[in-house]
Amino acid sequence: MNKIKEKAHVKRGLENVIAAHTRTSLVDGVNGELYYHGYSINDLAENARFEEVIFLFNHERLPSLVEYEELRAQIVSEMRLPSQVVKMIELSPPNAHPMDVLRTAVSMLGMFDPDTENNSQTANQRKAIRITAQVPSIVAALNRVRQNQPVLSADPKLNLSGNFLYMMNGRKPEENELTIMNLVLVLLTDHGTNASTFAARVVASTLAEMHSTVSAALSALKGPLHGGANQRVMEMLLQIDNIDEVTAYIDGMLDDKKRIMGFGHRVYKVQDPRTDHLRRYSELLCSQNKIDKLHQISQKVEQIVLQKKGIYPNVDFYLATILFALGITKEYFTPVFAIARTVGWVAHIQEQYSDNRLIRPSCIYEGKRGKKYIPINER
């Protein structure tokens, strides 16, 4: 009886457990709303440039035009990677997942950052900008290396979104590509105490430096139940040849009790507010790139899953379609997610530092007691 009573106190997955105070973002799962420092995601998605959101997370207010330009220039100046990190990227196994290379490269950057062991507020603000600038450079450099193409330097005329696409693909992005990449990064910047953000805060609570905390967050993001879901969405969509096969494919997955990636959310009880923006731009981009079939299949999957299970798509579902239409291969979907989410991570890390207590939850022991040690020769 006592054991059953004790188990009732365990919150599996820490669901509904309040672990921190934050000013970064509010996820309203009941009403399907998301706010960054008080600004609706819908307002920011339609109007804000990613650098404005970066400034917002660093200063809790939107920048002036002069402040925006200063930050944009600062980020471009910090995008260059140490030659040793580039060499590590070149030496990484060709079959290593890009998230593994990204995590390792971020950890390695910590050894070259002049502020690594300085955990003062000003030093952490400098590190936050450097890491934000260098993560897209790592992702782009890896893609270039694996295509046997030269690693490119940032163009001072472009912003972070534009430089990422340029350094990734080797060509200046078109206007619609810039718009959509900016939208993606704004939508993915932060999302409450999700798994990777919580992992970052746990490590930050030990007062480990910022590169270690971001490396921990990257490890959590790789998981298929978190940021890795978008790659699995694309793998699913590519298995469906035409729209007429969708119903049978989804029925087969449901009959086999398989998880349909890109659907459902731990917090949202209604539609994820980011979905409408991604769905709209998925249709536009697929149409422009003459791959309308991909968007149509995505819509049909959404319709059937909603009809049969009553589950809405989350941010990963149409994100996969958009990134594929931008010419980004599925292995890089989660690293793109990380480019945006780094901004949220470093904000939460600094928030944790500012009012810190070591995060150390308890667990209920269910094993035996009083076992006697038997000498090894008698076992």
Q: Dig out the tokens for 349 from the structure.
A: 């890390």
| Gyration radius of the chain over CA positions | 22
**Can you give the pLDDT at residue 265?**
81
**Choosing from 191, 265, 277, 295, which is the catalytic residue?**
265
Q: Which tens digit of pLDDT belongs to each residue from 128-148?
A: 999 999 999 999 999 999 999
Phi-psi region of 249 (alpha: psi -120 to 50; beta: other; left: phi over 0): alpha
Q: Which tens digit of pLDDT belongs to each residue from 13-50?
A: 787 777 888 999 999 988 999 999 999 999 999 999 99
**Can you give the pLDDT at residue 259?**
87
Phi-psi region of 294 (alpha: psi -120 to 50; beta: other; left: phi over 0): alpha
| Contact (Cβ atoms closer than 8 angstroms) between residue 172 and residue 321 | no
**Can you give the pLDDT at residue 4?**
47
Average pLDDT, the chain: 93
**Does pLDDT of 88 surpass 70?**
yes
Phi-psi region of 365 (alpha: psi -120 to 50; beta: other; left: phi over 0): beta
Average pLDDT of the segment spanning 282-294? 91
- For the sheet containing 25-28, what is the strand order? 25-28, 33-36, 39-40
**Does pLDDT of 73 surpass 80?**
yes
| Contact (Cβ atoms closer than 8 angstroms) between residue 294 and residue 281 | no
Q: Dig out the tokens for 237 from the structure.
A: 């969509």
Q: Which tens digit of pLDDT belongs to each residue from 341-366?
A: 999 999 999 999 999 999 998 888 88
> What is the spatial distance between Cα 149 and Cα 338, in angstroms, rounded to a whole number?
23
Average pLDDT of the segment spanning 274-278? 93
**Does pLDDT of 5 surpass 60?**
no
Average pLDDT of the segment spanning 189-209? 96
Q: Which of 12, 330, 352, 45 is nearest to 197 (CA)?
A: 352
115 is catalytic: no
**Can you give the pLDDT at residue 6?**
47
For residue 257, give every residue at least 6 positions away whose Cβ sits within 8 Å of its Cβ, in sequence order, or none: none
14-23, 75-84, 245-254, 319-328: least confidently modelled range: 14-23
Res. 164 pLDDT band, cuts 50 70 90 = very high
> What is the spatial distance between Cα 101 and Cα 175, in angstroms, rounded to a whole number?
30
| Contact (Cβ atoms closer than 8 angstroms) between residue 140 and residue 123 | no
**Can you give the pLDDT at residue 271?**
86
Percent of the chain exceeding pLDDT 90 equals 82
**Does pLDDT of 124 surpass 80?**
yes
Percent of the chain exceeding pLDDT 70 equals 98
265 is catalytic: yes
Helices 229-238/333-354 angle, 10° precision = 160
**Can you give the pLDDT at residue 13?**
76
Kindly tell me the number of DSSP H helices and DSSP E strands found in the chain.
Answer: 17, 3
**Can you give the pLDDT at residue 1?**
43
| Contact (Cβ atoms closer than 8 angstroms) between residue 221 and residue 105 | no
**Can you give the pLDDT at residue 8?**
55
**Does pLDDT of 7 surpass 60?**
no
For residue 275, give every residue at least 6 positions away whose Cβ sits within 8 Å of its Cβ, in sequence order, or none: 312, 313, 314, 315, 317, 318
**Choosing from 37, 190, 316, 348, which is the catalytic residue?**
316
